[in-house]
A and B are shown apart, each in its own frame.
Chain A
């Protein structure tokens, strides 16, 4: 499987790590699983960190991605979506989809930078996040 979904901070921050090659079916199931995590998370907002640093290939058809692999973006409890990537195509496609879904979204080249941004945005998580970075 080219992805792994887990809690980065239980109930508050979901971490989705993508690697190698992702098929459309995997992108769909990753999105559905992420949606489930967000639904089960603590209100008011659950943040998402999607790490695509080691992702090589993925579906790029905008219509299919927008329709089938964006279930997590519909979730009312979704807070910030932080995408970690240095690949220009990933940044390009992800930027379009999240912009269309009108979610709070930022992209960073490293996980550290993404986490520091999230710590700045959500004061209730600041200490927990900064502890994981320095640990």
Chain B
């Protein structure tokens, strides 16, 4: 069996186990169990739609070249565990779509902000070991979640509609609304599966890094959805870096590869002096930057000036139709898909470090000038971070007995640089970290 097939098998088994143990009884639970079941004729579509295939591909890319054949099955089990958590994470992460500074905050958006605020609080307190009553503590927002269409919040509502239509044809007693507006059980399962991962890894040296990474992520999301004013670029980068799950994910796989599968005797030293934490945080900065800005980061000053000149020309040629910066960026000719990451976040209303402050500019002219400055500063930060990470990985290599850890981190960053260079609506660019 190939590594891909091993991870696919383990992931689906972990998802099934997690749904059974972590998700409260609900139509949603029945739908997901049907979705992953071998008897479902639309199983392939379902697995694609909920992101399981993308998660499997990411796992293969991350650890494929780092493990021996003899360890495959064990490593696949660990991939399955974290992938099960990410299945729910995709759903809760989607609730923040439409809450960026450039979005109009209507009643539905306000409800989602309240839901996320409560969810992030229950998550962080659970991770800190302050309670063992997730469902009970989330109960007050259950009614609010029933106003939210998980399909509309997703990046692929058409695929959701296709799968639910198939399900309803086989289960005429179920109503679409019970599934489409039934996100609450997923939130409970999200917290419980995250806690289970963190608790398990707390017995290893990477445990503290992983737990703090998760806590930072959920507190970071609360910060990004609360901010209602412009912020210095450095502060936006800091906030954005916390919300990507790079630190906990890399800490998890670092633990699997250097503590569980093979014991790396010198791991302790790079944890103690903060080298590993620095490497993971720097990776998170790079991944956040490529997630938000994409290929624009790699342009020379002259090339960037050309892109900006094209945007100015497009604006001047279509001034009568363009009344907002999002209209301009969404409609600009983009032969080399340079704008794809900005366009994705504009369309889905996601927090973006390069775009956040544009919402507080007084005109499109001012917004374009700000965009130019942001791109210049973020490109510089990108190169500085890459150099710093290179130095850190060289230091880790010198101190460890093998290159597994540095290869894991470098490969993870490279993979994200590659996928975020692709158009966001292509199959490869669809994966969201």
Contact = CB atoms under 8 A, between A and B. Distances in A.
Interface of A: 24, 39, 60-64, 66-68, 70-71, 73-76, 88-89, 92-93, 95-96, 100-102
Contacts of A39: 165
Contacts of A64: 98, 103-104, 106
Interface string B161-173: 1100100000000
Interface in B69-107: 97-98, 100, 102-104, 106
A88 B326 CA distance: 17
A36 to B, nearest CB: 11
Nearest to A68: B152
B158 A74 contact: yes
A25 B129 CA distance: 43
Nearest to B326: A62
Measured as residues with beta carbon below 8 angstroms from the partner, the interface class of chain B is: 20 to 34
A75 B162 CA distance: 7
B110 to A, nearest CB: 13
B158 A92 contact: no
A63 B98 contact: yes
Given A74-B158, A88-B321, A102-B425, 6 more contacts: A62-B346, A68-B152, A71-B157, A74-B151, A101-B158, A102-B158
B383 to A, nearest CB: 31
B308 to A, nearest CB: 21
Given A63-B98, A89-B321, A24 B106 contact: yes
Interface string B135-167: 000000000000000011100011011100100
A96 B103 contact: no
Main secondary structure of the interface of B (DSSP, over half): helix
Given A61-B103, A67-B98, A100 B347 contact: yes
Label chain A's interface by main secondary structure. helix
A100 B425 contact: yes
A96 B348 contact: no
Contact of A67 (B97, B165, B425): B97
Contacts of B102: 63
B317 interface: no
Given A60-B324, A71-B152, A66 B348 contact: yes
Interface string B403-429: 000000000000000000000010000
5 contacts: A60-B324, A67-B348, A74-B161, A76-B162, A92-B331
A100 B155 CA distance: 10
A93 B151 CA distance: 22
A95 to B, nearest CB: 8
